[in-house]
Structure 1
Amino acid sequence: MNFEFVKEWLAKLGIEGKLPELDLIVSSLLVLIGCYISYVVARWLINHAIDRVLSKAPERWYNSLVNSGFFKRCANLAPIIVIHNFIPVLFIDDFESWQSPLRTVVGVYLTWVITSILTALANVVSIAYGYSYKAREVPITGVIQVAKLVLVLMAIIITVAIVMNKSPMYLLSGFGAMTAILMVIFRDTLMGFVAGVQLATNRMVAIGDWIELSDHGVDGTVQEVGLISVKVQNWDKTIVFLPTYILIHESFKNWQGMVNTGGRRMRRSLMIDLDSSRILSDEELEEVAEKHFNQSAEDWLSENELQKPVSNLTVFRVFANNYLRNHKQVREDLLHMTRLMQPTAAGIPLEIYAFAKETEWTKYEAIQSSILEYLYSVMADFGLKNYQYMNNNQAFSQQSEEGAYNPNKPES
């Protein structure tokens, strides 16, 4: 195909030979218009092909191909084909020397168009894989990012080779000398890639896991495991981007085991006033047994392998343990107990240790709170008091009631 009609049209206007470049300009504009038309037609054909071919395809493949922009980038090949075919037609005679640099430009553009298509294809794989049930346990985000990085590096090498008119192998032969520099530049990338492979292989962390690293202010859910960083949303809704290799080089706590087990540990202490601990009389023991155990004191002592004399602290500890064992929201198959801890200045801690059936935070806290609230409320039935710090006024009032010197009390 040639553009003789352009010359004839210019001749009719009476400017033939007066401006040789005008022929080239008009012809180039026509080619550019043709490139745009070819792009629009290619987009139209591809869109209709998508509707026909992918109408019965699985949803994950349809969504991944459409949302990744794969077909849109494929349409960019049409203008390149048009320009490549018209370069030897447009640039002739006085402009023949332009063909070589223009072919170089087209070659570079073609290289990056193909690179963009391949990166879009990588996005297709990533999006489609995200629909799989394995995506949470074994994320491939890091692998996809490495693939994109390799594609970009290859595109850079090919671009330089095209501009220098050299073979890519010629450039790669001197690539070893730059290895040390590249190791420094891509240190975090390489370390992140190795860490990502180890995390995925050993299944140390996955998307949706609750992890905790107190030294780095991380306490929340993993949103994304990338090549360089791990995105974590803390419970206060802040976002933390953590270098991937830190999860390999430093220890962290993964709470996913708790979620998978279906039991969340409760470990709270009731602080009991030491002065309220005493031996129960037979009448008091009988009253407690009938009220809280629905049986006689002798039967209760025999059932729990206890004998007189028995303290109110012992009776309350056994009562709390039985309450945990019979609680509907406590896991019976997991460890549960009540135990006395080392006495402190704040009283004797009676530790409640059990696993709630609910792992979701609000439900878990509700179960834990209801258990503690009930035990606090019945503590007085056993003659026990919860330890509480007194302020100066309370201490002075208590001393006055016990017969200490009171300046406001009249002398007898």
Structure 2
Amino acid sequence: MLSLFIKRTKTKWDDALLERKVLHRAAHVAPALVFYWLADGFPGFEDIIHRLAIVYIVLVGGWVFNSFLNAVIDVYRTLEVAQNRPIKGFVQIVQIITFVVIAIFSIAVMFNQSPFGLLGGLGALTAVLLLVFKDTILGLVASFQISTSDMVRIGDWIEMPKYGADGDVIDVSLLTIKIQNWNKTISTIPTYALVSDSFKNWRGMAESGGRRIKRSVNIDMNSIKFCTSEMLQRFSKYQYITEYIERKKTELTKYNKEAAADTSELINGRHLTNVGTFRAYVEAYLHNHPCIHQDMTFLVRQLPPDEHGLPIEIYVFSNVQAWAEYEAIQADIFDHILAVIPLFDLSVFQRPAGQDFKLLTSVPQPDKAG
């Protein structure tokens, strides 16, 4: 009857009490009370029955209190604040203290000793207790630091390569933190490891409203050259850089005139290059892209040239953070960039592959006869 009544109420806390069987376990106190009251009917056994009944009541009380605390955790998890301030670790500390107190009290009752006397005797076992409860003590300190410093919250995406963890935090307790990796496996990490070891928390990215795109394209340096007037005329038809081309032509003409440069040779004076114009195009393209965050770091830059060519790096932020959409946006951007590179008389550098060697072997060899 009580269960049916609780299920029909609108409140959630009573459902948690029912699910954790708090009332069901509390009912176990009744038989112990009956034995305690009927102990006088067993001459010579009254004292032992009283002690057993008291110990049983205390153990059931601890059992009920533990279930109540678990119900508190369940209700707390439904609140919005639980994402920022998990309390499971602190509740587990209370549970441990409760069971220690119950154990000491039960032993004291059974042997008719003072609980404080037993505590005094435990002083000699301090070193052993510290060794036994080492992980618990470390977890207690770590839980306090994690909570006060707001290092990790449930739902945070963290990376911890040392433990092979890369995914979302799904549980924070006194001794362990559970992380659901992107492949749906679960990594369990000691709580104190987050304090003693380094890890990466992606919460800042989630809160910033952007997600970084950092990727480069290697340009074959053999294809880099000055722009001729014919090339500039062709480039000026590209919508995103029409204004740029006209502005740079005016600027460079003025400079070369003032410097009295002999522009009949491109090496003299200042001239646009195809790679510089390409870089300007990429900047303009990204500035006009609806999925690029314009208020965050925005760079299209050259990196130092190496044996793989001249890297042109894109360093911008997407305004979409969802993984699949982010990857689609990034792929779409580089699809476009790779497709327009030949339009600037540039070539992408890549190592020779099987097809390249096949083409080399198919080239007719000169006749050496005679």
Structure 2, unpaired ranges of 5+: 254-269
Equivalent pair of 1:329/1:356 in contact (CA under 8 Å): yes
The answer on whether the counterparts of 1:267 and 1:351 sit within 8 Å (CA) in structure 2 is yes
1:152 is matched with 99
Q: What is the correspondence of 1:340-355 to structure 2 with a 5 Å cutoff? A: 340-355=302-317
Deviation at 1:283, TM superposition (A): 0.9
Q: Can you list the C-alpha shifts for 1:255-304, whole angstroms capped at 9, x where unaligned?
A: 0100011100000011111111111210111111113447377524269x
Distance 1:125 1:301 in 2: 68
The alpha carbon displacement at 1:120 in A equals: 1.5
Distance in 2 between residues matched to 1:73 and 1:188, nearest whole Å: 30
Q: CA deviation at 1:250?
A: 1.5
Determine whether 1:251 maps to 2:203: no
Instruction: Identify which of 5, 24, 28 aligns with 1:72.
Output: 24
SS in 2 for 1:135: helix
Check conservation: 2:274, 2:346, Cα contact below 8 A. Answer: yes
For 1:319, give the aligned amino acid. Answer: Y
Aligned amino acid, residue 75 of structure 1: A
Q: Matches of residues 247-326 of structure 1 in structure 2 within 5 Å?
A: 247-293=194-240, 295=242, 299-301=246-248, 308-326=270-288
In terms of mean alpha carbon deviation, does 166-175 or 343-352 score higher? 166-175
The separation in 1 between residues aligned to 2:232 and 2:222, in whole angstroms, is: 19
Alignment of 1:109 with 2:56, yes or no, is: yes
Is the Cα–Cα contact under 8 Å of residues 58 and 106 in structure 2 kept in the other structure? yes
Q: Retained in 1: the 8 A contact 2:216–2:313?
A: yes
Cα distance between partner residues in 2 of 1:400 and 1:410: 17
Shift of 1:50: 4.3
Name the amino acid aligned to 1:104.
R
Cα offset, 1:306, TM superposition: 6.1
**What is aligned with 2:341?**
379
Match of 2:261 in 1: none
- The corresponding residue for 1:209 is 156
Which AA in structure 2 matches 1:258? M
Deviations 1:141-200 (A, max 9, x none): 100111111111111101111111112122112222222211110111111111011101
Q: Which secondary structure does the structure 2 equivalent of 1:88 belong to?
A: helix
Q: Does 1:220 find its partner at 2:172?
A: no
1:99 to 24, 46, 68: 46
Asked whether the equivalents of residues 289 and 300 of structure 1 are also in contact (C-alpha less than 8 Å), the reply is no
TM-score by length of 2: 0.89
2:329 is matched with which residue: 361, 367, 370?
367
Structure 1 residue 393: Cα displacement: 7.0
Contact 1:115 1:155 in 2 (8 A): yes
Bigger Rg over Cα: 1
Q: Deviations over 1:203-246 (max 9, x none)?
A: 01110001111122111111111101111111111111111111
Query: What residue is the counterpart of 1:230 in the other structure?
Result: 177
Structure 1 unaligned segments of length 5 or more: list them: 1-43
Q: Deviations over 1:296-324 (max 9, x none)?
A: 77524269x66752111000001001111
For residues 110 and 297 of structure 1, what CA distance do their matches in structure 2 show? 85
Residue matched to 2:14: 62
2: CA distance, partners of 1:264 / 1:409 = 59
Cα contact 1:286–1:297 (8 A) shared by 2: no
Equivalent residue number for residue 140 of structure 2:
193
Quick one: which amino acid aligns to residue 25 of structure 2?
Answer: R
Query: What amino acid sits opposite 1:64 in the alignment?
Result: A
